[in-house]
Amino acid sequence: MLVPLIRTLILYFVIIFSMRFMGKRQVGEMQPAELVITILISAVASVPMQDIELPLVHGIIPIITLVSAEVIISTLSLKHPKLRKLISGSPITIIRDGNIDQKAMQTLRITIDDLLEDLRLKDVYDLRTVRLAQMETNGRLSVMINSADLPPSAKDLRIKPSPSEPFNVIISDGQLADTSYASPQKSKWLHSVIGTNGAHEIKDVFLLAYDGESNIIFAKKEN
């Protein structure tokens, strides 16, 4: 039992290191070559995990080889646009000025339902407002809305909103997430906020976030 456990842990850390070395893209943002490498690594790693009689090096060497190949190809792609286009492809325009390119959809083999779903995920419910929509090389849809259909910005309205700061999570699921609030000065303020919002202790709080000004997000734990 100990040998398979150790082999699995070794391969686990080798794969983690390999993926970190390749980059931090999410699966949905990977280029085709990166996705293929990821699938191959998982397939190669599963063999020595299941067959303990197979030397562990037979799994590690192919993983290192695949990662090295990916790094080399990525480096060459940065310097050679033609190679990058050959491996990753090019974006394809699906919508222009509210009109759908049906040939492009046939090329990509996507249905109108798929297209409308992608648009809804971009908060677009009216095709007529789309100036340009392209299917990127990673399989995601990018959408450009007509200027006249965009909501007005603060600049358009000629107003100057006060700058806002990001919320910092202080308590998360009954635990103190920001240890700086354990100091006597901040702890007094913290317990005052907890009491004001109907709780008694830190363990009674599901979420407390503070932006450093006067805005607080507070949620008690449910029984």
The full set of domain ranges for the chain reads: 2-86, 92-149, 168-220
Residue 60 CB neighbour total at 10 angstroms: 18
Q: How far apart are CA 184 and CA 187, in angstroms?
A: 5
Higher pLDDT: 62 or 197? It is 197
Domain 168-220 has CATH 3.30.240: yes
Structure confidence at residue 8 as a pLDDT band (50, 70, 90): confident
pLDDT per residue as tens digits for the range 22-45 = 665 545 556 666 777 777 887 887
Full DSSP string of 78-131: HH-HHHHHHHH---EEEEETTEE-HHHHHHHT--HHHHHHHHHHTT---GGGEE
**Identical fold at 92-149 and 168-220?**
yes
Fold of 92-149: CRO Repressor (3.30.240)
pLDDT for 24 equals: 52
pLDDT at 29: 59
